[in-house]
Amino acid sequence: MGLAREVGRKDAAYKRAVDLLKKAPLIDGHNDLPWVIRRATKGDLDAFDLTRVHPETDTDIPRLKSGMVNVQVMAAFLPSEIANPATVTLEQIDLIRRMEARHADVFMPIRRATDIPAAKRKGKIGSLISVEGTVGCEGSLAPIRMWHQLGVRLVTLCHNGSLPWVDSSTDKPISGGLSPFGHALVAELNRLGIIIDLSHASPAAATAVVAASRSPVVLSHSNAHALCPHPRNAPDDLVRTVAAAGGIVMATFVPSFINAELWSRIEKMKRAHWPNADPALIAAMEDPPDLGALPPATLPQFCEHVEHLIKVAGPDHVGIGGDFYGGPQPVGLEDASVYPSLFAELIRRGHGEQVLARIAGANFLRVMRKVERVGRLLDRESQPAAKPRPRRAQRRKPAMAKAAAR
């Protein structure tokens, strides 16, 4: 148990946070539990056993329940340069669906916005399937439609590597932000009623997507670049653009996205380790083996990002996307049980419960409802699009960039 939780359980703010989360839906925008299971057991759910606490990682059924999570977005994540990406994407979607079926007493599939309050009433954890990175569509819109049929309701356009149709924030630009196929992809996601996620997209690509999209978009796991200049974080102008279009930015727990000093130390060590590396690739590279002692990220520092996003975007355009991935976490945000402590800290900092209820989940639910409404309208207006595959762009990436740094 983290120190913040031990302290938090003893005060009135913690009790108020628990009461809040009993009433308000808590929707976490991103969790890489399926990838953790894939790495640990090759996708064998019985071998992993989600019903027990896993001290070696951060997410399991007992801690999701302790965290009072109403809906968890489960990411079908895969690295940008993995072999056979179309197959791996389907394997990851299949793993999430098997989780839902194997633990049907715990998880309720979320396939439409109305399922979220239903899961709350039933006391179940909603499972909303996302795909992190469209590399598995292999430049065709048909797989996107099949992902939708399988239950995918949120798609992160790219991961750490740029794709021929969308540029990543941690790679060299190869498509000028968003290519013609990228525009077609955005239109098809809109028609299908799938939420578009711009975490990992470059600011230029993200801005182009907001301009092209008929629906509001989200950044499901990104922090404020103004507080920590990691390239994965959102600049204030992008935060304002997303908010003006009705979308939300969901603050995340990744330590190097929270603590500017921590990120600066990591960046300098990487540059020393790989002096000839392109600056655009630094953030996506594996950490060098000689990082040594580093300053921690903390729960209060995370709350500063939430407060900055509220200041820039307004309280209707902020959410939480923890991005638990089995790696190091901030002090006070160690695992999926921490959400009452997080909201207790925000209460201590003076935030009202109406605002916190919106941040916990009401903002995401509003976006999902709007995306569905726009999708129904567009589906009546047009037929499924058939577009040729994009021309494959030529690019070179160093071997160390292939590993999926957050």
* 225 in catalytic set: no
The active-site residue, picked from 148, 159, 183, 317, is 159
Q: Is 32 a catalytic residue?
A: yes
Active site residue 273: no
Q: Which residues of 322-361 are buried (b: 16+ CB within 10 A; e: fewer)?
A: bbbbbeebbbbbbbbbbbbbbbbbbbbeebebebbbbbbb
The question of whether 132 is a catalytic residue gets the answer yes
Taking alpha carbons only, the member of 213, 212, 230 closest to residue 375 is 213
- Active-site annotation holder among 28, 30, 100, 351: 30
148 is catalytic: no
Helices (H) and strands (E) in the chain, counts: 17, 9
Reply yes or no on whether 30 is catalytic. Answer: yes
Per the structure block, which two tokens stand in for 25? 């839906």
**Crossing angle for the helix pair 299-313 and 236-244, nearest 10 degrees?**
60
Catalytic member of 28, 32, 167, 345: 32
Q: What is the DSSP letter of 391?
A: P
- Taking the C-alpha atoms of residue 73 and residue 325, their distance in angstroms, rounded to an integer, is 13
The one catalytic residue among 188, 323, 334, 372: 323
> In sequence order, what DSSP letters do the residues of 60-71 get, joined into one string?
-HHHHHHTT-SE
Query: Active site residue: 54, 148, 183, 221, which one?
Result: 221
**Which residue from 255, 184, 197, 268 is spatially nearest to 223, judged by alpha carbons?**
255
H or E, element range at 153: strand 152-156
Give yes or no: 323 in active site. yes
E-assigned strand segments in 234-365: 248-251, 318-320
Q: Which residue is associated with the tokens 């039933």? A: 122
Across-strand partners of 28? 72, 320
Catalytic residue among 28, 60, 115, 132: 132
Q: Within its chain, how far is the Cα of 104 from the centroid? A: 24
Residue of 200, 308, 317, 351 marked active site: 200
CA distance 323 to 403: 17
SS3 20: helix
CA distances from 307 to 137, 254, 346, 386 (A): 37, 17, 9, 43
Rounded CA-CA distance 362/135 in Å is 31
The structure tokens listed for 275 are 């002096």
Q: Which two tokens stand for residue 258?
A: 């929270």
Active site members: 30, 32, 132, 159, 200, 221, 323
